[in-house]
Amino acid sequence: MSAVTGTVATMLSRRVPNDQAVNDPGISPMFGSRVMGSAIPRYDLPDGELAARAAYQLIHDEMTLDGTPLLNLATFVTTWMEPEADKLQMETASKNFIDQEEYPITTVMERRCVSIIAGMYHAPSTGEQAVGTSTIGSSEAIHLGGMAMKRNWRKRREAAGQDGTKPNLVMSSAVHVTWEKFCRYFEVECRQVPLAASRYVIDPEQAAALCDENTIGVVGILGTTYTGHFDPIEALDTVIGALNERTGWQIPIHVDAASGGFVAPFTYPDLKWDFRLDNVHSINVSGHKYGLVYPGIGWAIWRTADDLPEELIFHDNYLGNDQSTFDLNFSKGAGGVVGQYYNLIRLGRAGYTAIMDNLFGTYDYLHSLVDSDNIQTVSEPGGLPLLCVHLRDETRFNSHDIADRLRQHGWIVPAYTMPAAIEDMSVLRVVIREGFSRDLASKLVDDVAAESARLRAEPPKHPAPHRPSKQRVC
Ligand SMILES: Cc1ncc(COP(=O)(O)O)c(C=O)c1O
């Protein structure tokens, strides 16, 4: 044995005291260190430090207990982006979007995105005149849209010497919870048109009947969270336009296009739901849904500058030059804006259309396989690429049982109850997103078939236990 080999052997056989090894990532084997053999405090700040690689390993390992994003068919939010987009967003991670003076190019990219999206929605003002802002997601955009409608309504009331203290907002009961949140936080009465047994969208006539001189706006949904149906926004526009003409109320329509705002322009280009309709004054869309960007980006777009009250825009200069902002928070990462800009210029109309075509191809495939008498397809062509089904007979097993069984295979498919007035109906929903290939879809089909057969072979559950959904629909 040479002298050198002998030294190495001695070093390897020497027992390194755990206390000494714990913070020496260069020496200690990862799972030989004290930190891996003891519990770390979870809810208190630890007294000492951890080696970076040990801290990484602990967190990385614990996160493997989360669901797998690719198999999360509950969410509309993007789980896959191209490696170039990943790289750009990593390069942007250290930039605070609000520092417009320091990162002017990021701000310019935001303005370009606003203009491109306003153009997609046929806004009369694009380019530098486009009116809109990036947000954290549709929720923030909805709050901004709601605030603008409320302020515009109050200004009109006060200018006419009328009471401006009892605002209300009209929507269907299928709205996302964010609208109810907006109404509660900003003290606006929430008036809802209930759904009906075979109507999963707003009834325009009923919406108009709920309006009065205190209505700040009417919400149309381009793709409900529950079933993916598009509200009949053109019909809503006709009815609200006629109401405004008759009464002089000037009620605007806000379209919540959280999901549909990046589907309709490519899949249904002739569908009129946007600024082509006279009464649509504002639109929100989630860049992180079918805009195909990772979570943390949304957009609020107004028809013209007149729709966004100047007093809601803040100007400050303590980071340098004059900055104008309309948002609910201050600092935020710039990665969402950069990721969105990447997708817009990388994909263009052709790229988004090709991706949507594939998603609807997968939708058609799944839809064609729903052939059991017991399954009613709730989602319909003409909406979002998602499959929503209802089990007619839930005495043997119910949709929650299927969701539970699929979870054992890694699939996350939510089962939940519908909103007022059809809350007794529960459904299962599969959102078809970029990354969910046809190949993977066929695996899901196999697993559903196998689990349904197993459930059918088990003794019936008489009556099926009622399990109200705790799953948040998002
Ligand atoms: C119709 C609708 N509006 C608003 C939201 C909230 O959007 P975000 O998650 O982008 O805040 C969602 C989320 O699914 C939605 O489906």
The dotted CATH code for 3-63 is 4.10.280
Ligand 1 center from residue 295 Cα (angstroms): 11
- The answer to whether 3-63 and 356-457 have equal CATH topology is no
Q: Residue 365: CB partners within 8 Å, gap ≥ 6?
A: 438, 441, 442
Contacts of 444-452 with C-beta under 8 Å, sequence gap 24+, read 444/73, 444/366, 444/406, 444/411, 445/366, 445/369, 447/406, 447/409, 447/411, 448/402, 448/406, 451/402, 451/405, 451/406, 451/409, 452/372, 452/402
- Sequence length of the chain is 474
Question: Which ligand 1 atom is at minimum distance from the Cα of 473?
Answer: 14
- At the topology level, CATH places domain 84-345 in Aspartate Aminotransferase; domain 2 (3.40.640)
- For residue 105, what pLDDT is reported? 95
State if residue 138 touches ligand 1 by the CB under 6 angstroms criterion: yes
Instruction: Indicate if ligand 1 lies below 6 Å from the C-beta of 137.
Output: yes
Please give the C-alpha separations between residue 469 and each of 114, 417, 427, in angstroms, as whole numbers: 37, 6, 10
Given this model, what pLDDT does residue 206 score? 98
Q: How far is the CA of 74 from the centre of ligand 1 (A)?
A: 13
Would you state the pLDDT for residue 9? 42
Best mutation site among 172, 173, 282, 286 for ligand 1 pocket (most ligand atoms within 8 Å of CB): 286
Per run of 10 residues, the mean pLDDT along the chain (length 474 residues) is 42 50 64 87 92 94 96 97 98 94 94 97 94 98 98 98 98 98 98 96 98 98 98 98 98 98 98 98 98 98 96 80 85 97 98 98 93 88 97 90 96 96 94 95 94 91 55 58
Residue 320: per-residue pLDDT: 66
pLDDT of 384-408, one tens digit each?
999 999 999 888 899 999 999 999 9
- What are the pLDDT digits (tens) for 239-255? 999 999 999 999 999 99
Q: At what angle do helices 399-408 and 438-457 cross, to 10 degrees?
A: 120
146 CA from centroid of ligand 1 (Å)? 14
Q: Return the best residue to mutate from 139, 229, 293 for the ligand 1 pocket (most ligand atoms within 8 A of CB).
A: 139
Domain boundaries, the chain: 3-63, 84-345, 356-457
pLDDT at 317: 74
Q: Which amino acid is at 255?
A: V
Q: Which atom of ligand 1 is nearest to the CA of 298?
A: 10
Strand partners, 416: 427
Say which residue the tokens 């009471």 belong to: 163
Q: Residue 221 forms beta bridges with which residues?
A: 256
Q: Please state the atom number of ligand 1 nearest to the C-alpha of residue 224.
A: 1
pLDDT value, residue 202: 98
Domain 356-457 class, CATH top level: alpha beta
Cα-Cα-Cα-Cα dihedral of 343, 345, 351, 356, to 10°?
40
Is 172 touching ligand 1 by the criterion CB < 6 Å?
Answer: no
Looking from the CA of residue 142, the nearest atom of ligand 1 is: 4
